[in-house]
Amino acid sequence: MINLETLEGWLNAPVENERLEFKEAKNQFDTNKLLEYCVALANEGGGHFILGVTDKRPRKIVGSQAFPTPEAINRIKALIVEKLRLRVEITELAHPDGRVLVFEVPTRPTGQPIAFEGAYLMRAGEDLVFMTPDRLKLIFAEDQQDWFCQPARSHASPDEVIDLLDTQTYFELLKLPYPSHRDAVLERLQSDQLLDKTSKGWTIPNLSAILLARQLESFSPTLARKAPRVIIYEGTGKIKTRLEQTVTKGYAVGFDGLVNFVHDLAPQNRVIEEVLREEVKMFPRQALRELIANALIHQDFLATGASVMIEMYDDRVEISNPGIPFIKVERFIDEYRSRNEQLADIMRRFRICEEKGSGIDKVISAAEKFQLPAPDFRVGEIRTTSILFAHQDFGKMSQSDRIRACYQHCCLLYVNNQRMSNQSLRERFHLDESRTATVSLLIGATKEAGLIKLDESESKSTRYARYLPFWA
């Protein structure tokens, strides 16, 4: 209950923050501005909007005549519901120094930012600002965590849990000895929030099922549709399918098998084989592993009827997942933000994905080592696709392929505390010194595209210049 004592505590708060906003409003207050502040407070988790108080310390009560009657208060409450779908409680306090109105703004619904006239607003210090696209994406993704907590199977007996989940592999992934008693197995899973005990038995949440299922279809058609699909095509198009396989094990317990299956089906890399004098697959296992892990972890689990796809052609492999990323593809190598942090955390503990970051640096490094074109990362309307290309000589690469390779090489060196030079880029493409001018032109084109910049702290001569990614 809000009273004068509550108000006194707010007056002594050190600064305005995301939960408190003070305005004098001695005579009136603009209705649209009030709605904007309600939006911002709701988007920041809810808070209190207070009229009749100065906003600078030391705060003083000056009294407000805004919305002066019970009828006016009821009208503004109804307008807030109509415009924002928020039920805001309004408390009128009779302080000796003047009338104070307190608007108690609830938090927004999970996964749903609030907007007024199309503007998603939030607080930044004492100002109202538009929410950034990254912030909006994080809010829209909040429902994902609820999906992981939803039950995949309820009222399961201990034997059913063991039958449905590959608990043996779970302990192997954590490098722990398998308990001699079944109860200890269940208790360990419960401690990792992979099981929940109720009076009617055990509840297996979606998180546990998607990771550890012996067979995803044993749970539900919905989970079965989350199984990754592998399709191998003849040639470079989709006209003729050579093989199609759905991998129905849980992501964690079936991960190594999935990676090995895809790697074994890849064509040979004859160029590298001639150098190493041994059989080498076209697509590096390390790169496949990182990209498949990324697709599984960062997919949008709320997308219905969609799954991770691994499509292999004679000249490339495409790994795609439902959902679009929270960061631009140009920043994949140096930034990390997961849609499904709970899933990512346990996959890290299983040593399936990187401790921090997306592992894209390993993908790019492997592509360079295997003399492959630069990987490509594409974002569609509803899916994100990573593409590994088969070997291609520098002379046959398109200009866009060369520019992408130059940018990725620059990023890779930068995150390893090195700098790109003409020489390092020639070595990346396996070009001799006679191609220095060609590589200089490529560096210039990449600079013109706004992807790299000159390192001002180094030599500015074309031959010895060093370069940085545009974001460095």
**Alpha carbon 445 to chain centroid distance?**
31
Amino acid at position 187, single letter: E
Q: How far apart are CA 20 and CA 50, in angstroms?
A: 8
DSSP SS3 for 322: strand
Q: Which three-class secondary structure state does DSSP give residue 432?
A: coil
Question: Tens digit of pLDDT for each residue in 357-409?
Answer: 668 999 999 999 999 999 999 999 889 999 999 999 999 999 999 999 999 99
d(CA 360, CA 373): 15
pLDDT for 447 beyond 70: yes
What helix, strand, coil percent values describe the chain, rounded to 5? 40, 20, 40
Burial of 428 per CB tally in 10 Å (0-12, 13-18, 19+): buried
Could you give the domains of the chain?
A: 4-136 (3.30.950.30), 144-223 (no CATH), 225-337+350-389 (3.30.565.60), 393-472 (1.10.10.10)
> What pLDDT band is residue 209 in, cutting at 50, 70 and 90?
very high
- Is the distance from CB of 100 to CB of 52 less than 8 angstroms? yes
pTM of the predicted model over 0.85? no
Question: Three-state secondary structure along 156-220?
Answer: ECHHHHHHHECHHHHHHHCCCCCCCCHHHHHHHHHHCCCCEEECCEEEEEHHHHHHHECCHHHCC
Per-residue pLDDT tens digits for 29-40: 999 999 999 999
Q: What is the pLDDT of residue 340?
A: 87
399-415 and 422-429 helices, crossing angle to 10°: 120
CB atoms within 10 A of CB 445: 15
User: How far, in Å, CA of 175 to CA of 177, rounded?
Assistant: 7
- Please say if the pLDDT value at position 326 is more than 90: no
- CA 465/CA 421 separation, integer angstroms: 6
Average pLDDT over residues 293-321: 94
